[in-house]
Amino acid sequence: MIFTNKDFLPTTKEEMNAKGWSQCDIILVSGDAYIDSPFIGVAMVGRMLERKGYKVGMIGQPDINSDVDIKRLGEPRLYWGVSGGSVDSMVSNYTATKKFRNSDDYTPGGKNDKRPDRALSVYCNLIRRYYKSTAPIVLGGIEASLRRVTHYDYWSNKLKKPILFDSKADILIYGMGEIALEELTKALDDGKDYTDVRGLCYIAKEPKHEFIQLPSHQECLDEKEKYIDLFDDFYDNNDPVSANGLCQPVDSRFLIQNPPCHYLDEPEMDANSNLPFTRELHPYYAKMGKVKCLETIKFSIMTHHGCWGECNFCAIGVHQGRTIRTRSEGNILEEAKDFNKYKDYKGIISDVGGPTANMYGYECGKKLKKGTCDDIRCVDADRLCKVMHVDHSRNIDLLRKVREVDGVRKAFVASGVRYDLITADKKHGYSYLKEMVKHHISGQMKVAPEHTQQHVLELMGKPGKQTLIDFKKMYDKLNREEGKNQFLTYYLIAAHPGCEEKDMHELKRFTTDELKMNPEQAQVFTPTPGTYSAVMYYTEMDPKTRKKIFVEKDTKRKEKQKAIVVEKDSFSSGFAS
C-alpha cells in the first residue's frame, strides 16, 4: 500500500491548499513526530475530529527557537490542542538517575534532539509568543493528565502547581477523554459555555462548592500529609460512574476538575479502530529518518483500554481508568485481515493486547454498575477480590481466531501479562497459558514480579513471591509438554520506596536459588506524577498508615541497589532468562 500526503492530516500549508482549506479548525501540536497510528494519542484525536467533519492540522515536534513550525499552518479557528507526546517529556528525556537519554523512539532518526523538557509549557509559550491573542489552548495526553492537580515533580524535587497554571493554557482534557474532546469541540464551535463538560479542567476565580474541596497548593507545600490527603481524593475520583468533581485553591484562583467523561462502549471502541489510519510516519518527517516505535506498533492490535491491576508505581489506572473497555472480536479480526493490504506486512502481528493483555473480555459486574471501590482493590498483594471472576475463555477464543485469519503466520502477545490472574483462573488459566506457550511467545515470556520481599511488594501493590513460584512451575511444565525451551524474563525494580540494600540482596538470593537465573531486566524506580509510589517517595510515608518508610534518594546508592541484583553468577540452569 502506497500512501500520499493526501491520506494524512495536513502538516504543511501546501497540504492544506491541496484540500482546499484556507484555515484549520483545530491544530494539534505534539512532542512526537506525526505518526498516523491508532497507538498514538494525537493521531487518534485528529482522526476522531476529522470524522466529525472538522479540519484538523498536525504539527509534530515544532522548532521551539523559531516561528518556522508553529506558524506553518496559521492559526486555528477553534483551538490549539497541545500534547507532550506519547510519554511524559521528562520521563522521555531522562533516566531514573536523571541522566539525559540520547535516543527517542518517536523522533525521526532516533536522536533525542526534538522534544523539549516540560513540553506542554514550552509549546504553550511558543504559541503565545507568535500569536498574542489566539484561539484557546487545550492540553491533553498523559503529561497533562497526570499533572492536572498539585503533583510531585521528581526532576525538580518539589511539588509543582497544576499544569494549567504553569503552562498558562486555557483548558485541560484528562484521561483518555474521547467524549470530552468531542463535546468541548462542539461547544466551542457553537459558541456555547464548555465549563460543564465532563472530563475537563479549567481555572476559575471562584470555588465550586458542590465539588470535593482539595487541600490548597500552599497547604500541600506546608504539610506533606495534606499532599497525601489531596492525592487520595484525586485517585478515588477517576471513575465516571462514581466520581465527584474536584476543586483546588491555587494562590488566589481555583483549579476546577469536572467529573470524568464516560467511557466508550464497545461499538464506539470499534468505530475509533476503523478510522483511516495510514500506520505510517508522515512523509514530511520520514525524510528525516525512521522512527523506531513503528517497528512494534505498525502491525500490533490494541484489544482494550484500562487496567485494574493498580501497581502503585504505574499511572495507567489514573490515565486510562480501572475499568476494561473492549473491542469486539469481529472488529479485531477485521483489523488483522486489513494488514494484508500493506506491502511490508510479512504475516507477523507484533502484539495482540493492551495495558495488561490478559484482562481482555471480563470485568466486575458491581464495578460496571457502581464504579470502582474506594476501600478495596480488585487485586492487592496476595488477594484477588472475590467479586472479580477472572475468566480467560474469551481471550483464548480471540487468539485462536486471530491465528486463523488469512495471511497471519504468527501473532505474538508482547503486552504485559498478569501471571497472578493466570494462577487465579482455575477454569481457564492453564489453557490460556498453554495457548501462549504454544503459539504466542517469541522465545521468551516477559513477566513483572518487580520484587520478592513482602513489605516492598505491599508498597508496590504487587502479588507475593509464592504466586510467582506457582506460575513458573506451570510455565516450565507446559514448555516441557510442548517440547519447547522458552524462557521467562523478569522485570525488577530497584530503589522503590521501602526497599533497602538488604532487600536487593534477598531478591538476588531468590532469583539465584528459586528461579535459577541471572536477572537482566532491572531498573531504578522513577517517581512519575499520578502514582502512589511518587507520593511515597516525596513524603517518605506509607499513604495508607501515614507511618514513615525508608526511601533511598541518593543516586549512587540507587545504582548500587540495581547492581546487586544484576551482578552475574556462574551456574547452569534449565529454564532461565
Give the helix ranges, DSSP H, for 237-392: 266-273, 283-286, 294-297, 316-319, 329-338, 365-370
Amino acid code (one letter) for 370: K
Which residues lie across from 494 on neighbouring strands?
524
Taking only Cα atoms into account, the Rg of the chain, rounded to an integer number of angstroms, comes to 24
Cβ atoms of 309 and 356 within 8 Å: the answer is yes
Which residues lie across from 159 on neighbouring strands?
152
Residues 6 or more apart whose CB falls under 8 angstroms from that of 117 comprise 89, 90, 93, 155
Exposure string for 19-38, b = 16+ CB within 10 A, e = fewer: eebeebbbbbbbbbbbbbbb
Q: How far apart are CA 150 and CA 215, in angstroms?
A: 9
Residue 71: DSSP 8-state: T
Give the CB-side neighbour count of residue 153, counting CA atoms within 13 A: 21
Measured in whole angstroms, how far is the alpha carbon of residue 510 from the centre of its chain? 30
> H or E segment at 273?
helix 266-273
Q: Is 311 a known ligand-binding residue?
A: yes
- Residue 144, classed as helix, strand or coil, is helix
> H or E segment at 108?
none
Q: Is 499 a known ligand-binding residue?
A: no
Cβ atoms of 234 and 214 within 8 Å: the answer is yes
Number of H helices, E strands in the chain: 23, 24
Residues 6 or more apart whose CB falls under 8 angstroms from that of 168 comprise 121, 124, 125, 128, 137
Residue 100: DSSP 8-state: B
Which residues lie across from 213 on neighbouring strands?
247
Exposure string for 515-549, b = 16+ CB within 10 A, e = fewer: bebbbeebebbbbbbbbbbbbbbbbebbbeeeeeb
Residues 6 or more apart whose CB falls under 8 angstroms from that of 513 comprise none
Q: How far apart are CA 495 and CA 487, in angstroms?
A: 26
- Residue 55, classed as helix, strand or coil, is coil
Residue 443: phi, psi to the nearest 5? 85, -30
Q: How far apart are CA 357 and CA 417, in angstroms?
A: 5
The three three-digit cell numbers of residue 62, written as one number: 515544532
Q: How far apart are CA 57 and CA 82, in angstroms?
A: 12
Q: Is 201 a known ligand-binding residue?
A: no
* Biggest alpha carbon–alpha carbon distance for the chain: 70
The three three-digit cell numbers of residue 56, written as one number: 484538523
In terms of Cβ atoms closer than 10 Å to its own Cβ (0-12, 13-18, 19+), residue 41 is buried
Q: How would you classify residue 413: left for phi > 0, otherwise alpha for psi between -120 and 50, otherwise beta?
A: beta
Binding residues for [4Fe-4S] cluster: 307, 311, 314
Binding residues: 307, 311, 314
